[in-house]
Every structure is written in structure tokens, then in C-alpha cells.
């Protein structure tokens, strides 16, 4: 595996990436389906292979099935030249001949394409015949006319029809063929259309299927004597699991009878009542075997294809092996499985053997363990791609960069994350997301939340028009007032279904999934007229194709519109125009120059630097021949040091913000926008600090020259030179530690250097002034008078007072503690009541590290509070052992949100504890605002009080739980709120990288955006 592929992860996450994501490496007993089947047939010829659970209950032993499949194989090879690399379409219904067709095609070396002749419509069959390029269509005699009507124009495929009474079974050649079948050869093509478009074929190999079905858990413990049900739609890949998984491992396949319009429960019961193993979708299981008491014979149940309700798993798992699996057709049936234990979290488990699962972001980089991402799958079960769809194959199948062996990985389209026990939590499909009120909503997540309510058996969330509907089934209607309350506490406002519909049972597709098309038609029909309650929906007639999409079903009647009975319950709906994130303005280089190189911070830095450069040029032009005057150089140094210190002094910072916010909101936006950037005054601080150091370098060079030359005008003594270079070293150390890429990595060292090296430098500057002035003062001239006439000493005096001012107000204050969670605490203070938008510095040791936190002032209440979340050793200690008294100094200083009053309406975007600085603005309610807050488990981490305060100000605030919803597209969400609310700007409070990126993403799209940078 390439180290670079996971180098973005921490060392711990790299270990877990491999531990969780890589299935066990297990050797395969066979590498082709035919080898596995023939090994069973040779070892157990008299064991029952297949049984029809209807009519005369015909059976075949393994020897008989082997012989019949040899008949088909010999016929195809000898009469139609079928061999490896070719495809044969099999159009059949559930019978023993079906199994002979399948293994006959495989033994001929060809790839079979399963088609349920009673279900597939002619248009779809015509497409499959054309798309697959099959040389032969092998069908039952009862479907021959249908096949011939479906033949595409110009097709050269031969139609061959057999039935149970055909003489070929007694006269055909029963000898095994000697065909060279390779593990990489095609085994079957499953055609699936998903929800739209023509059916697309998924090409699976012998190796794919052997890896899935010959190892546990895919083997399901099947051996000779194990009875397995075959009940699913024949073109469904789970049905291939039923058939091939049974007959490759020696079990007995029990075929249910054909469906009947009057109901097929008895048909299912006749099959399910005699089996040990049942494979189904959750919807099918809930309909046909919902209770353990009805089928005590079943020992193993597998459900997959759609989310499984917890109630179903808890009903069966105490008594049987209950597997919840995940795996699209493209991964050859399944890629993960969980053997569910009663009372534990229902997941999709861990990767099956020789299979890898990766949770990646949109750039195909691993996300951190526990974060939500897209599930990609690699390993032996990844299929060969889509038939005749190279672009789609290239899009969904990519080289597996985590394997580095030339293998491929597949994008399942499923969202998920790793749990602490190494199992995968499914979080719906990315392509099952819809836009509701301008926000992206995961429909499976809404469905799962409805299903979590007591009394709900199955649920489906569907967008119909611009409205989100919630359909749910159960024996009786639930208390929908309580259900709505349940949803309101667990879903964002925009994800709440506007209508709730109770149904006795859910409509199903032939593949056993919830029939969402019928539900959508139901909703559309009832928008116009709702008159009659929904009962069980009859089984659809056989005019359907696809494992997911149904056509031509009986339309349900209509649903009674009764708010009292709750068959349809309306919830408040707000339709908003869907908002997309526009492209960035300009081209890349121009954008970077305007918004990065010429940011307000850098502009201020450049202005300070330019002023000093002009001063240096003037000084250089007017300098006498012997060199630059050192007293003027000293003045330049002192002036810049004072400027640098003043623009970090709380009283000056507060004055600048106060002055900037005097501008009325009626002023043009461009003026207010520029004034709001006063928080970038750190550019003045940095510019002055750097130029002070450069002036000092010039002073050091010039004074050294004077010293070496023995200048009479500037008689520099050795002490002055020594102090000069000592101060220069300290100034450079301070600058190095303050460099943007160094400061975050060595924050504590930066603090110590800035403080102690700064104080030492200041003391040495005082000494330098005295020593250098003494060396330059003519004999007989009082030193005191010379010092008083020096501009530098007055500038340094002001610098000293500015540095000392906050420390003069050093005191220990009382603290009242409100624990919020194991990860956060709220501290209350009463020593002052700052206005919104300020921050206080606190510490438990004044001579070590200081930490700044935004002050949260509540209207009409004295004092303030701060929110401390776990972000390091100090915050961790504060949360675990909250103080009753703590040190503070100076006065609370203004921050970015102090400029909020400049605007008529704003959007606040915060992540994690960044909500703290936003709370004063939120609670004051003086500036209308929309709010977006993204954080893991907001209520659990920060408490209900903060969330209530947010919703009190903005009832439609977006509180995004990253633990459940994954990482949001911050730029898109902020842009939507900005556009839909008519706000004048967006204010971001987050960590440095997120803030910088989001400000840039919005500014380059013409949105005024403000957020603190590393030196704001």
C-alpha cells in the first residue's frame, strides 16, 4: 500500500484505517463456480440439490442437476459454438430447469444473464438482448413468443426454448465438458436500472463470486443438508446468492412457487416453513416472516438491499444468526456484514474476507476515523464494470491506490463512517439526497428517524414536488403529535416531513424493496383528492422490470384526508428556491492576487513597510558623507516598536473598533465593508515589528562600522555594540517564532518567546539607550539632559507603559462553573460586563500561558460567561477540574464580531466552540442574523441552553450535527443563508484553516465575508 495514500491521517488513524478497512486474507477452496459445484456433485451425488415447493414438489439430486447442466452445456457448445467470452441470456421462471440453465451456461464457459420471464417487460428485454451482445437467448417454451417479439432489429442471437417435458433431458449428452474456465472469466451479468434510465449490466467474474460465496460470512454456514429458501426476484443479485451460494456449498435450494394476484403469503409460507436459511430485503422479511414464532425452523436470516429497521433485527437476533449486510451489485452481492447481537447497535459490520472498505472524501482521500465519507470498496469481489458503459465504469471504478497492485476499487455511493468497534455505520446514499428549502437532506436518515419511533415498522421519506412526505407502516396509527415532536428534536427544521402518511403495509417491488414510485404516485394523486384510507396494496401484476423500479402497478385508491385520524398529517412547509453555489469570479491567479496577496492584513503591512521605506530613502538621501545618523535610526526603531505594541494593546484595539463602528448602517455597504476589516490591524502590528527589526539591522551595521572606524562624530563603545547584537538576536527570535507556519506548531514556545524575550528586549533597549547615549554625549554634557532630549527614550517610555498597562490590572477573579459535557464547560464571571464582540484573557499561571475566550454577555444580566471546549492540555484540565478562581488581566478586547452593528443583517457561521463568540450577538438581538453552526453532537457537547438561545433568535437556524450528518459544504451552506436571507455579510468563527478557506470561497463569489485570521 502507498504510504502517501494515507499520509494525511494521524498515525493512530493510519493504523485503524488498515485494521478496520481490510478484511481477513483467506485462501479460496475453488476459483470458479463450476469447480465448486462439480466438487459437491462428485462428493455428494445423492444429496438433494433443488426442490420445488409447489405442485408436485419435483427434486433433483446433485448428480441429476450435474447431468442436466451438462446436457445444456453440450448443446450450447455443439450447436451454437458457445464458449468463454460469450454471453447467454436465460429467460426462465423458478423451477429445477432454471438451475440446469444456469450451470449449463457456466459449464460451457459462457456468462449467463438472468431474466425473470414473468416480470421483465418487452422493452427492457429488447435492450438487454441488444446491450449484452448475447449469441443465444435460452428460454422456457412459455416465454418464447415474448422473447421473439423482443428481439432487436438486426439481432443475430439465436432463440432456444426448452421446458420440463422436452426430450433433450433424456437424450442429451450428459458428459462433462473440458472447457478452460479461468477465475477472471465472466460468470453472470446482472441488469439493474436503479431508479431511472435503461437497465445497465454489471459484469461479475467467477473469482468475484467465489470470494463472496465460498468464505464466511457469505457462505452462511451452508453445507450438505442445509435447506435454503429461493424466494427473491430472479434477476436480483440476492437471488444469485440464494442459488449459487447454496449449490456451490452443497445445500438444498427450496424454490417458492409463482406469485398469484390474490396474494402469495401461502406460497412463501410453503417454502419458508421448511428452510434453515432465508435471504431477503428488510421489507420482504417484514411482510413474509416478521415474527420468529411463525417460523421457528429458520436458523439464519440475511437482510440487505435497503436499511434494516432495528425492530426486525431485535425480533430475530436472539434466536437465529441475523446478518445485516451491505453490498451493491457492483461488489458482487455483499462487501460487509454484521452478525447482529441483541441490544447492540445495528450496523453493516466489517469487510468480508479479501475485501477492503475505504471511507473517503470527494478527493478520494481518507477521512479521519469516525468522520462521515463515501464508501469505496476494493478487493476480490469488485466486479469488472458496466457492460458497454465505459464512461460510467471509469467514473465509478478507479485504480485502488491503497492496494498498489493494479486492482480496482468501486464507489458504492453510500455514506458511512467507522465506529469505535471497527464496524461501519451506514448513513444513506449520496444519490438519495434531495434539496428541501435549499438544503441537502438525506432521505434514508429521515426514514430511519421515523422508524425509531415506537409503533412504526417501516418508513420511507420521499420528495414530491417541493414537499417532503413521510410514509410509515404499522399495525395501528401512532400518536402523530408525539411523532412530530420526536422528529423535531432529531431533525433540522428543513428535514422535517411536511406530510405524514400512515399505511397498514408498504407497497413492495418484485425485488422486495419499498416501492417508492408507487408511494410517489400516491402522494401526487392525493394532492388533488384524498377520499379513502389506504389498506394493503395488492401484489403488482407481472409487468415490471428492475430490482428497484416498478411500472404498471395497480394504483392504490386514495387516502382519507383526516387530520384527526392522522392518515395524512400536514406539517409546516416553507418552499424556498434551490440555491446553488456559483462559480468563483475571475481566474485563479487574479483571485489569489486580489483576495490573498492584497488582503486587508497584507495591505496594512505593506503600508507600514512603505512608509518606513520612504523614511529610509529620505534619511539616506540627506545623510552626511560619513554615514547614517545613529540617533535617527534609534528613533525609527523606537517609533516602530511603539506602533507594534500599541496595536496589540487592549485599550487601543477597543478604541479602533469603537471608532469604526460609529459609521451608521445607512452608509454605503462598501464603506462599512472596509471599516469592518479593522480587525486586520494585526497587519500594522506585524508590519511595524518587522520594520523595527530591519531598522535595527541597519543600526547594527552602521554602529559597527562607526565602532570599527573609530568615528569621532559617533564614538560607539563596545558595550553598545554588544547590546546591539544581543537585541538583534532576540528580535529575530521573536520574528521567527511568530512566522505563520511556525507559530501554530510551537504555540507555547511562541508565547514564551514573545513574552519573556520581549520583556528582555525591552529591558535591554533601556540599557542600550543609556549606554549608547553615554557613548555619544560629549564630555562635560550632563547625561540626563541628553536622555531627555532623545525622542527614542520617550517613545520607549510609551512602549513600556503600553506593555505594563494590562499587567497593572492583573487580578484573580471568582468563577462559577456550569459543566456542559465531558468536552465542554461554561465559566461565569461578574467582575465586568463587556459589550458583545469582546474576548477575555485567562490563565491559572500568569507567568506561563494565557488563553483568550469570547465573552458571552446576556441581555439585562451583569457579568459574562465563556465557553471552554476541549482543544488541548490546558482546556482539558479546565474541563476536568474547573477552577473556582482564575487569573485575568487588562480589559476584554474587541474581536471580529464587534463590528456586527455596522450591518443591517448578517449570517453567522460557526464550528465547534466558535459558537461562543457568536452568542453575544445572537442573544443581544440587536443585529438580525441567520445562523449556521456545525459541530459534533451539539446538544450532548454544549447543552440545550445554547441551542435554545440560537433558535430563539433564528427559528430556522441550521444546527449541523457532523457526527450524524458528516462534514457540510460550508461555502454552499453559508451562501444559501446569505442569498435567501438578504444579509449584507457573512461572519465566520472557526479554526484558522476553515476560516481562511471559507472567507476566500465567499469573497471570490462576491460575498462580503469576515473571519479572524492567525494574527487578527
Q: For residues 896 and 1008, what is the distance between their CA atoms, to the nearest angstrom? A: 14
What confidence score (pLDDT) does residue 64 get? Answer: 97
pLDDT of 701 > 60? The answer is yes
What confidence score (pLDDT) does residue 465 get? Answer: 80
Average pLDDT (708-730) is 90
What confidence score (pLDDT) does residue 540 get? Answer: 34
Q: What is the pLDDT of residues 249-270, one digit of tens each?
A: 999 999 999 876 556 788 999 9
Query: Where does the pLDDT of residue 565 fall: very low under 50, low under 70, confident under 90, or very high at 90 and above?
Result: very low
User: In the predicted model, what is the mean pLDDT of the chain?
Assistant: 86
Selection from 358, 463, 515 nearest residue 20 by Cα = 358
Q: For residues 845 and 816, what is the distance between their CA atoms, to the nearest angstrom? A: 19
Q: What is the pLDDT of residues 133-160, one digit of tens each?
A: 999 999 999 999 999 999 998 888 999 9
CATH annotation of 426-570: 3.30.300.30
Q: What is the pLDDT of residues 543-560, one digit of tens each?
A: 222 233 222 222 233 233
Which of 121-125, 258-262, 793-797, 967-971 shows the highest mean pLDDT?
A: 793-797
The DSSP call for residue 514 is B
3-state class (DSSP) for residue 101: helix
Query: Where does the pLDDT of residue 437 fall: very low under 50, low under 70, confident under 90, or very high at 90 and above?
Result: low
b/e 504-530 (16+ beta carbons within 10 angstroms → b): ebbbbbbbbbbbbbbbbbbbeebeeeb
Is the separation of the CB atoms in 337 and 279 below 8 Å?
A: no
- 585: Cβ contacts below 8 Å, ≥ 6 apart: 591, 1004, 1005, 1006
What confidence score (pLDDT) does residue 538 get? Answer: 36
Q: What is the pLDDT of residues 201-238, one digit of tens each?
A: 999 999 999 999 999 999 999 999 999 999 998 988 99
What confidence score (pLDDT) does residue 193 get? Answer: 56
Average pLDDT (470-494) is 82
What confidence score (pLDDT) does residue 394 get? Answer: 94
What confidence score (pLDDT) does residue 270 get? Answer: 92
**Whole-number Cα distances in Å, 678 to 284, 483, 606, 656:** 63, 49, 15, 7
pLDDT of 404 > 90? The answer is no
Percent of the chain with pLDDT over 90: 51
What confidence score (pLDDT) does residue 547 get? Answer: 31
User: Count of CB atoms within 10 A of residue 145's CB?
Assistant: 12
The DSSP call for residue 596 is I
pLDDT of 564 > 60? The answer is no
What confidence score (pLDDT) does residue 440 get? Answer: 59
pLDDT of 539 > 50? The answer is no
Domain map (residue ranges) of the chain: 426-570, 589-808, 827-1016
Q: Which residues pair with 229 in a beta bridge?
A: 254
What confidence score (pLDDT) does residue 38 get? Answer: 97
Q: What is the pLDDT of residues 488-515, one digit of tens each?
A: 767 766 678 988 999 888 888 766 778 8
What confidence score (pLDDT) does residue 704 get? Answer: 92
pLDDT of 586 > 60? The answer is yes
Percent of the chain with pLDDT over 70: 91
What confidence score (pLDDT) does residue 435 get? Answer: 60
Does the model's pTM come out above 0.85?
no
Q: For residues 878 and 880, what is the distance between their CA atoms, to the nearest angstrom? A: 6
Q: For residues 922 and 952, what is the distance between their CA atoms, to the nearest angstrom? A: 9
pLDDT of 2 > 60? The answer is no
E strands, 561-689, are: 568-570
Q: With respect to CATH, is domain 827-1016 assigned 3.40.50.80?
A: yes
Is the separation of the CB atoms in 472 and 514 below 8 Å?
A: no
What confidence score (pLDDT) does residue 835 get? Answer: 87
Query: Where does the pLDDT of residue 576 fall: very low under 50, low under 70, confident under 90, or very high at 90 and above?
Result: very low
pLDDT of 566 > 90? The answer is no
Give DSSP secondary structure letters for 37-65.
Answer: HHHHHHH-TTSEEEEESSTT--EEEHHHH
Q: What is the pLDDT of residues 757-773, one digit of tens each?
A: 888 988 999 999 999 88
E strands, 474-545, are: 499-503
What confidence score (pLDDT) does residue 779 get? Answer: 79
Query: Where does the pLDDT of residue 436 fall: very low under 50, low under 70, confident under 90, or very high at 90 and above?
Result: low
What confidence score (pLDDT) does residue 962 get? Answer: 85
Average pLDDT (342-369) is 94
- The separation between CA 2 and the C-alpha centre of its own chain, rounded to angstroms, equals 23
Amino acid at each position: 500500500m502507498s504510504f502517501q495514500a494515507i499520509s494525511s491521517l494521524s498515525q493512530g488513524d493510519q493504523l485503524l484505517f488498515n485494521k478496520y478497512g481490510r478484511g481477513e486474507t483467506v485462501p479460496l477452496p475453488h476459483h470458479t463456480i463450476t469447480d465448486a459445484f462439480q466438487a459437491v456433485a462428485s462428493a455428494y451425488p445423492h444429496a438433494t440439490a433443488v426442490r420445488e415447493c409447489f405442485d408436485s414438489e419435483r427434486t433433483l439430486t446433485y448428480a441429476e442437476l450435474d447431468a442436466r447442466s451438462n446436457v445444456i452445456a453440450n448443446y450450447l457448445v455443439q450447436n451454437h459454438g458457445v464458449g468463454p467470452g460469450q454471453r447467454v441470456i436465460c429467460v426462465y421462471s423458478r423451477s429445477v430447469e432454471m438451475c440446469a440453465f444456469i450451470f449449463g451456461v457456466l459449464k460451457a464457459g459462457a456468462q449467463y444473464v438472468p431474466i425473470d420471464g414473468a416480470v421483465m417487460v418487452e422493452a427492457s428485454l429488447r435492450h438487454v438482448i441488444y446491450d449484452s451482445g448475447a449469441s443465444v437467448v435460452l428460454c422456457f417454451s412459455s416465454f418464447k413468443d415474448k422473447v421473439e417479439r423482443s428481439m432487436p432489429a438486426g439481432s443475430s442471437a439465436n432463440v432456444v426454448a426448452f421446458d420440463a417435458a422436452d426430450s433433450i433431458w433424456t437424450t442429451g449428452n450428459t458428459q462433462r465438458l473440458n472447457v478452460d474456465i479461468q477465475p477472471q472469466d465472466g460468470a453472470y451479468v446482472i441488469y439493474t436500472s436503479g431508479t431511472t434510465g435503461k437497465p445497465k449490466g454489471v459484469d461479475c467474474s467467477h473469482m468475484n463470486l467465489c470470494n463472496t460465496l465460498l468464505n464466511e460470512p457469505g457462505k452462511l454456514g451452508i453445507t450438505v443438508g442445509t435447506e435454503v429458501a429461493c424466494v427473491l426476484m430472479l434477476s436480483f443479485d440476492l437471488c444469485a446468492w440464494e442459488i449459487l451460494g447454496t449449490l456451490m456449498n452443497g445445500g438444498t435450494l427450496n424454490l417458492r412457487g409463482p406469485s398469484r394476484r390474490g396474494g402469495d403469503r401461502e406460497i412463501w409460507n410453503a417454502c419458508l416453513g421448511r428452510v434453515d436459511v432465508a435471504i431477503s430485503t428488510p421489507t420482504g422479511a417484514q411482510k413474509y416472516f416478521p415474527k420468529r414464532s411463525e417460523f421457528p425452523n429458520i436458523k439464519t436470516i440475511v437482510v440487505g438491499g435497503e436499511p434494516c429497521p432495528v425492530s426486525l433485527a431485535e425480533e430475530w437476533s436472539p434466536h437465529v444468526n441475523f446478518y445485516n449486510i451491505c453490498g451493491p451489485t457492483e461488489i458482487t452481492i455483499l462487501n460487509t456484514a454484521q452478525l447482529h447481537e441483541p441490544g447492540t447497535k445495528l450496523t453493516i459490520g466489517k469487510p468480508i474476507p479479501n475485501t477492503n472498505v475505504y471511507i473517503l472524501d470527494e478527493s478520494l482521500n481518507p477521512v479521519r476515523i469516525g468522520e462521515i465519507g463515501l464508501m469505496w470498496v476494493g478487493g476480490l469481489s469488485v466486479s469488472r464494470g458496466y457492460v458497454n458503459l465505459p464512461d460510467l465504469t471509469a467514473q465509478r471504478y478507479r485504480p485502488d491506490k491503497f492496494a498498489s497492485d493494479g486492482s480496482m476499487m468501486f464507489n458504492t455511493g453510500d455514506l458511512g463512517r467507522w465506529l469505535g468497534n471497527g464496524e461501519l455505520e451506514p448513513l444513506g446514499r449520496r444519490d438519495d439526497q434531495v434539496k428541501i428549502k435549499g438544503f441537502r437532506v438525506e432521505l434514508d436518515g429521515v426514514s430511519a428517524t421515523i422508524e425509531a419511533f415506537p409503533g412504526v415498522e417501516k418508513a420511507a421519506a420521499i420528495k414530491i414536488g417541493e414537499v417532503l412526505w413521510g410514509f410509515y407502516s404499522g399495525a395501528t396509527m401512532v400518536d402523530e403529535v408525539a411523532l412530530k415532536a420526536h422528529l423535531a428534536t432529531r431533525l433540522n427544521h428543513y428535514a422535517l416531513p411536511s406530510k405524514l402518511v400512515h399505511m397498514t403495509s408498504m407497497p413492495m417491488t418484485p425485488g422486495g424493496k419499498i416501492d417508492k414510485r408507487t408511494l410517489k404516485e400516491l402522494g401526487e394523486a392525493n394532492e388533488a383528492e384524498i377520499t379513502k384510507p389506504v389498506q394493503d396494496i395488492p401484489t403488482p401484476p407481472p409487468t415490471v422490470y428492475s430490482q428497484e423500479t416498478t411500472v404498471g402497478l395497480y394504483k392504490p385508491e386514495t387516502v382519507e384526508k383526516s387530520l384527526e385520524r392522522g392518515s395524512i398529517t400536514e406539517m409546516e412547509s416553507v418552499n424556498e428556491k434551490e440555491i446553488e453555489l456559483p462559480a468563483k469570479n475571475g481566474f485563479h491567479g487574479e483571485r489569489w492576487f486580489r483576495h490573498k496577496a492584497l488582503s486587508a492584513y497584507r495591505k496594512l503591512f505593506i503600508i507600514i513597510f512603505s512608509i518606513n521605506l520612504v523614511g529610509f530613502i529620505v534619511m539616506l538621501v540627506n545623510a552626511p558623507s560619513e554615514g547614517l545618523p545613529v540617533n535617527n535610526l534609534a528613533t525609527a526603531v523606537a517609533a516602530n516598536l511603539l506602533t507594534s505594541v500599541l496595536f496589540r494593546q487592549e485599550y487601543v484595539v477597543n478604541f479602533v473598533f469603537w471608532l469604526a463602528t460609529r459609521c451608521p448602517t445607512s452608509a454605503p455597504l462598501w464603506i462599512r465593508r472596509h471599516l469592518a476589516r479593522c480587525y486586520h490591524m494585526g497587519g500594522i502590528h506585524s508590519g511595524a515589528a518587522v520594520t523595527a527589526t530591519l531598522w535595527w539591522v541597519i543600526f547594527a551595521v552602521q554602529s559597527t562600522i562607526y565602532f570599527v572606524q573609530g568615528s569621532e562624530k559617533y564614538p560607539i563603545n563596545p558595550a553598545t555594540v554588544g547590546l546591539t547584537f544581543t537585541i538583534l538576536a532576540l528580535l529575530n527570535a521573536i520574528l521567527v517564532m511568530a512566522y505563520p507556519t511556525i507559530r501554530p506548531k510551537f504555540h507555547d514556545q511562541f508565547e514564551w518567546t514573545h513574552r519573556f524575550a520581549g520583556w528582555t528586549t525591552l529591558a535591554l533597549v533601556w540599557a542600550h539607550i543609556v549606554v549608547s547615549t553615554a557613548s555619544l554625549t560629549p564630555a562635560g554634557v550632563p547625561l540626563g539632559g541628553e536622555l531627555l532630549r532623545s525622542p527614542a527614550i520617550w517613545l520607549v517610555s510609551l512602549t513600556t507603559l503600553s506593555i505594563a498597562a494590562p499587567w497593572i490590572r492583573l487580578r484573580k477573579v471568582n468563577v462559577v462553573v456550569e459543566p456542559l459535557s465531558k468536552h465542554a464547560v461554561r465559566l461565569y464571571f461578574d467582575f465586568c460586563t463587556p459589550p458583545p464582540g469582546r474576548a477575555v484573557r485567562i490563565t491559572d499561571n500568569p507567568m506561563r500561558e494565557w488563553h483568550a475566550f469570547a465573552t458571552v454577555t446576556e441581555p439585562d444580566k451583569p457579568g459574562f460567561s465563556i465557553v471552554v471546549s476541549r482543544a488541548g492540555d490546558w482546556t482539558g484540565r479546565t474541563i476536568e477540574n474547573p477552577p473556582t478562581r482564575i487569573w485575568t488581566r487588562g480589559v476584554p478586547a474587541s474581536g471580529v464580531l464587534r463590528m456586527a452593528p455596522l450591518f443591517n443583517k448578517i449570517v453567522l457561521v460557526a464550528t465547534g466552540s466558535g459558537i461562543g463568540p457568536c452568542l453575544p450577538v445572537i442573544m443581544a438581538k440587536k443585529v438580525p442574523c441567520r445562523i449556521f453552526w456545525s459541530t459534533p453532537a451539539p446538544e450532548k457537547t454544549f447543552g440545550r441552553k445554547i441551542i435554545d438561545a440560537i433558535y430563539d433568535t433564528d427559528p430556522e437556524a441550521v444546527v449541523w450535527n457532523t457526527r450524524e450528518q458528516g462534514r457540510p459544504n460550508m461555502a454552499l451552506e453559508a451562501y444559501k443563508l446569505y442569498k435567501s436571507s438578504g444579509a449584507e455579510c457573512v461572519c465566520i468563527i472557526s479554526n484558522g484553516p476553515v476560516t481562511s478557506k471559507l472567507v476566500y470561497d465567499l469573497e471570490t463569489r462576491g460575498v462580503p465575508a469576515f473571519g479572524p485570521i492567525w494574527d487578527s
